[in-house]
Amino acid sequence: MRVRVRNCTKLFDMRDGYPFARNVLGFSDPSVALVGDRWTMFIGGMAPTFRTNIYSFELPPGAPVTSDEWRPSPSAVLSARRIRPVIDQPRRRSWNRCMHSVCFVRGVADAHTVERIYHAGRASETVLNRRLPYRIGYLERRPGEPWRSIDQPLALHGPGLDSILEPKVEYHSGRWHMRFLTLPASRPGSEDPTRFRIMYTTSPNGRDDWTAPVEWFGTTTASTTASSSPMTKER
């Protein structure tokens, strides 16, 4: 089925620059959710040092998600032309030194409601580093607490899953459901679509006990496989 998109609005353009953020080169891969009384956007941003991190923007309370009044969250504003990420930049050589490809989700873990931003992470500031593959982790926030990062990436990589990124996570039916992209560490950034696979896994708490990842779409599965996934039933 072909879907036609109308009335597209450009929000940010790195070619035009950002009057509110002279310390960020560009933004990409937003995740939008209703948080409290307003729509909130979590988005990856790259600093002039080529380190990437996660930033937050908000609409005014009550504004529709189609509004173009996105502004940096008040907690993100350092000055009239500088903003800060939702969490400090991880230390050098950390698995998540650079974070991007975000996905906000709210769910239940250990009998507590939590908010998480799942993301891809890499230890290098070089985007395509053959020796340092991508991993997946998350930031977590509980009521009244700031965002914090988990210490280690999720145990999802392994043989045949050398480099994993682009997490898409949902919470429903009492479990955390994740799709993620995998690509061979021997050739990161390859544009050959036959080298990419989308995997699917679930967890009771979104932290560990993940089921063995299965191919959701890729080199061996047909497109009909995707229609059987529980994630396709949630809109």
Q: Give all strands of the β-sheet with 163-172 in edge-to-edge order.
A: 163-172, 175-183, 197-203, 214-217
- Could you tell me the residue ranges of all domains in the chain? 12-86, 92-233
Q: Partners of 35 in the beta sheet?
A: 38
**If 0-12 CB within 10 Å is exposed, 13-18 middle and 19+ buried, where does residue 163 land?**
buried
pLDDT attached to residue 55: 98
pLDDT over 90 at 93, yes or no: no
DSSP 166: E
Q: Which of 90-94, 118-122, 193-197 has the lowest mean pLDDT?
A: 193-197
**Distance separating alpha carbons of residues 166 and 1, to the nearest angstrom:** 24
- Statement: 92-233 belongs to CATH 3.40.50.300: no
Question: Using one digit for the tens of pLDDT, what is the confidence trace for 102-152?
Answer: 999 999 999 999 999 999 999 987 766 666 789 999 999 998 899 999 989
DSSP 232: G
Q: Maximum distance among all alpha carbons in the chain?
A: 51
Report the predicted TM-score, pTM, of the whole model to 2 decimal places.
0.87
DSSP 93: T
User: Is-contact 151 125, C-beta < 8 A?
Assistant: no
Token pair of 169 as six digits: 């996570």
Question: Using one digit for the tens of pLDDT, what is the confidence trace for 64-84?
Answer: 999 999 999 999 999 999 999
Residue 213: which residues within 8 A CB-CB, separation 6 or more? 156, 161, 180, 199, 200, 201
Sign of the four-CA dihedral 195, 119, 11, 78: negative
- Element housing 226 (H / E): helix 224-227
